[in-house]
Each structure stands twice: as structure tokens, then as C-alpha cells.
Chain A
């Protein structure tokens, strides 16, 4: 059918040319960076960088928790917003969930009066998700109804949630979770959870009303409103879901380390945003995908383990990370300019 339309009228060459997607560019970047480490590996370490299953496992494990946050942040950025509260909400959700997940017989348990009985694991899980979702709900409601910039709303939540994380136990770390709770962070479990979430959100953003409206709001909020989309309600939903995923990430870190601390998750929000941006999600909204963010995660992972592999200081790692983030945003700005000129 589409071919018939094409044949019926002359199409200028420019219209036929497929626009190279930001995801494709990120993929080229990923392959390029991996190859550079591969070559450097043979030169300096005398071994393959990629040809090591254990290293690849660690690589994805390292980014899986922030990756879960990044999926939520991706849809927030697609609406034209930003979420700076993820790191702090991670800590608040982890602390509060962990306090319900402690082994009942542990004498210094936060809720020692829980009767020396382990609570069923579903309770801390629901609590953790609820804390994250509630933080997201407040972010979304502030942005939708007070019309303050998302940057400010989530900055406030960033500070407040950190305060809640500290206040919950007056700064004491919480340890000794039940085995059932600890299981969500053990082995390759975080990676499995990440992959399920990526699959779910690729589907949500591409094949559901939720996805179309998310892109529409980031693309042209007035058009979305004129078309009958309840923009306020949708924004609240998007931020709540981002918070929910952040709560989940917090519990996974706590379960993995068998402890929760008020200071955990520091700077996670920036790493999550960076993964999305490197993966081609446009900070001006409307463009990008979870697949792109996944590629951004892998680039992060490759850089992290590549530097360890070459036994280089972590300082260089951060410097390079900074350069790549800026380069990704510059690339996005250039793409937009080219498009503006083409139109």
C-alpha cells in the first residue's frame, strides 16, 4: 500500500533517505569504544577485553541498578522533563524498605518490636516501591499543577528525600535483611530484572497509548492538550513510574550489599541522565528510546570495566565520562540544527 503511494508520485531524493537514528549513532559509539579497549588490551595486557565472559557479566551487572533508574528517567526526559531526585529517592526507599526486611531475631533491628518474626518479603518490597512511587507522585503533581520547572521540583525532592533517608534511623545504617529480601540483589538477578524492565518499557513506549502521549507531550505540549490528552494526569503518571523504578533500584542495591545507608545512591541521578543522553534521548524532549538508553548503559559499562581492565585510575574514568556526556549533548544539538535547516 505504501509502495503504491510512493510509485504514484515522484519523491524527491531527500525524502527517501532514511534518517540515521540517534540510537544507531550510539551503537556505533559503543562498538568503537569496545574495539579501542580490545586493541589496548592486546597491546598493554596481552589479552582480549571482550573475550572474557566473566568480565562481560560484571560489566552489565555494574550498570544494571542505575540502568533501571535510567529507564524511568528516559521516559521523564522524553516528556521534556528531568528527574534529579533519583539518587536520594534510591536511598530513602532502600532505608525504609530495609527496615521492614531485617531478620526478626537481630537484636539491633530498627523495628525490634516486630515480635522477632521475619516479615514476609512482600511487605518490604511493597513498602520500597511505594516510597519511590510516592516521591515520584509528588514530583509529578508539583510539575503538573504548580507549573514549576521539573528541574526545581525534583531538586527539592532530591534534598528532601536525602533528609528522609537520614531521619529514618537517625543516620544509622540498616543491615541483616532476610534471605528472601537479599535474593533480589544476588548473582545476576539485577541484570535479569533490568532486562525485563527494558522489555516492558520498550513495549509501553512503542505500542501503547501511554507511549504515544509521552512522546506527544515532549514534542508539543499545546498540541497534546488540544488533542484531548490530560497532560497533567499523564505527567504525574510518568514521574510516579520513574519513582517506582527508582524505589526498586534502591532495594536491589540494599539487597546486594546486605545493608542500606542514608548516603547511598549519591550522583545516581546524573549517571542515569547521562546514560539516557549518551543513548540519544534528547534533553529537549520528544525524541529518544529505551533501546537507546540501553546502549548508553552499555557504553557506561564498557568504560567502567575497560578502565579497570587497563588498571587505570578511576580519576581518568570520571574525566572521560564527563567528556562523553558533553559530546552526546553536542551531537544532539547538531542533529536538531541540521533538522531545522532541512525543514
Chain B
């Protein structure tokens, strides 16, 4: 499915928090339609990597190309406008709003423009929400219910559906099932598979190796702030990935990179 067009590329991407080198010289490429998992131990630099791409933080050094252009996002909003939708771990939804309001939060459909007092087009938002949820395969019994009254799985489904509804070029999922139970995880994975079938390029940050093998084409292993390995999901097994995560394998690569 993956074409040869490169949708996202980073070169020498580096982030230091004071003296802590959270990310060092990450060189990465994502082809159009490709699904990639970012794995690694806690503090290996996975989330830092994602935060530089989405503009949540400003990188220390390095270059990012997105959709053929070199980019410098000042914030997640700019990234979103460029076509990158991100499902963040915790700060995605407003608990007291219903599903359509959450889906369209910050990009409401307007019936009559009065600046900040613009009148909402509730019906259009509701219809598009129903269509969006259907396309993503998310089932929510009562759209008018506030998110607060939903289970963790349903909330995560809404968050993913929200990104999936608007995504144009790239979707990034940061630990999409970290806080969920077994059944809910399965539910969310079904939805991610649906996205995959639609051919939207995707980056998943995950701890769950089984999930990674199920869902992606390629696995990027982070270790101590560096990319320790890029593996084809069909050619490796879990033990090999774990070996890279723990540093049993690929340590010579670390040394080589240190000289470069």
C-alpha cells in the first residue's frame, strides 16, 4: 500500500532539556500510507520525538520535512492545520461536552457568523459526527451524553474518531491503549485497523509489543534518546525487538552514532 512518496522526514532531530539529552540525532522517514510504531523503554525518547514533530515542544536542533516542505510548527495547532492529527494521551477531550461538541471543538460548524458569538450549526455537526463515527467504526449509544459519562474505551474511541474525522495527511497516536482494559484495548485496536485500511499514514507510540506486531509495517526502537533500530514488523520477532529495547542488540550502533 505504501507508495514511494515520503510524507514525513526528520534529520538530526535533537531535544535537550537543560543537561538531559532526551533525543539525539533522530533520522526518520515515513512513506505515504505507511504505518510505523515507535517503541522503547520509559524515557527512551518516544514521546519527546512525537512532541517535536507535532510542535508541542520546540526542538533544540535538526530539521523536519512534512509533505515535501521543511516545516517549523510553533504549536500543535499549526501542525494540525498542516494536516497532522494527534491523539494525545490525556488532554484530548472536554469531559462536560457531548460527542459532537468534542469532535468539532475549536473548529465548530457555524450557521451564522457573529465572531465569538457565532451561532452553531448543531444539526450539521451531529450529522457529520454520526458519519465520522460510522466511518471509523466507533459505536457510541448516546451522542448527546457528555463524555464524562462514558467508559475509558468509549472516550478513547471518541478521541481517535475525532482525529480520524479530520485527518488529511498523518495521524499520530500517543499510547492509545495505555489506560485501557483488555476488551477496551481490543475495541480501540479494531478502530486503528480500520484507519489502516483507509491508508492514512500513521505513527503509533506504544508499550504493547503484541499490538505493535498486529498493527504496523515498521518498528522504530528508541533507546536512550536515539533510534537504536528500524525493523520490518514482518521480519522480526518479539525477542529481537526486546533485545533492541534493552540494548542487548544494537549497542555498537549507539557507539557509532556517538562518533558521528
* Interface membership of B2, Cβ < 8 A: no
Q: How many chain A residues touch B (Cβ–Cβ < 8 Å)? A: 36
Q: Is the interface of A mostly helix, strand, loop or mixed?
A: helix
A224–B80 Cα distance when bound, in Å, is 14
CB <8 Å contact, A234 and B116: yes
In the bound complex, residues from chain A placing their C-beta under 8 Å from that of B88 are: 226
* Interface membership of B142, Cβ < 8 A: yes
Task: Please judge, given known A-B contacts A19-B149, A207-B120, A212-B108, whether A223 and B142 are in contact too, CB under 8 Å.
Answer: no
CB <8 Å contact, A343 and B117: no
Task: Please judge, given known A-B contacts A209-B120, A286-B96, whether A223 and B108 are in contact too, CB under 8 Å.
Answer: no
CB <8 Å contact, A219 and B106: no
- What 1/0 mask marks residues of chain B from 105 to 146 whose CB sits below 8 Å from any chain A CB? 111101000101111101000000010000000011111110
A 204-232 contacts with B by CB, 8 A: 204, 207-210, 212-213, 215-216, 218-220, 222-224, 226-229
B 66-110 contacts with A by CB, 8 A: 76-77, 80, 88, 90-97, 101, 105-108, 110
In the bound complex, residues from chain A placing their C-beta under 8 Å from that of B94 are: 215-216, 219-220, 223-224, 227, 286
Closest Cβ neighbor of A234 among chain B residues: B116
Task: Please judge, given known A-B contacts A219-B97, A286-B95, whether A224 and B105 are in contact too, CB under 8 Å.
Answer: yes
In the bound complex, residues from chain A placing their C-beta under 8 Å from that of B198 are: none
Complex A-B: 23 CB contacts under 8 Å: A1-B130, A5-B130, A5-B141, A15-B142, A204-B117, A210-B117, A215-B101, A219-B95, A219-B97, A220-B95, A223-B92, A223-B93, A223-B105, A224-B94, A227-B106, A228-B77, A228-B107, A229-B106, A234-B116, A286-B94, A342-B149, A343-B149, A343-B150
B interface residue numbers (CB < 8 A to A): 76-77, 80, 88, 90-97, 101, 105-108, 110, 114, 116-120, 122, 130, 139-145, 148-152
A interface residue numbers (CB < 8 A to B): 1-2, 5-6, 8-9, 11, 15-16, 19, 204, 207-210, 212-213, 215-216, 218-220, 222-224, 226-229, 234, 237, 286-287, 339, 342-343
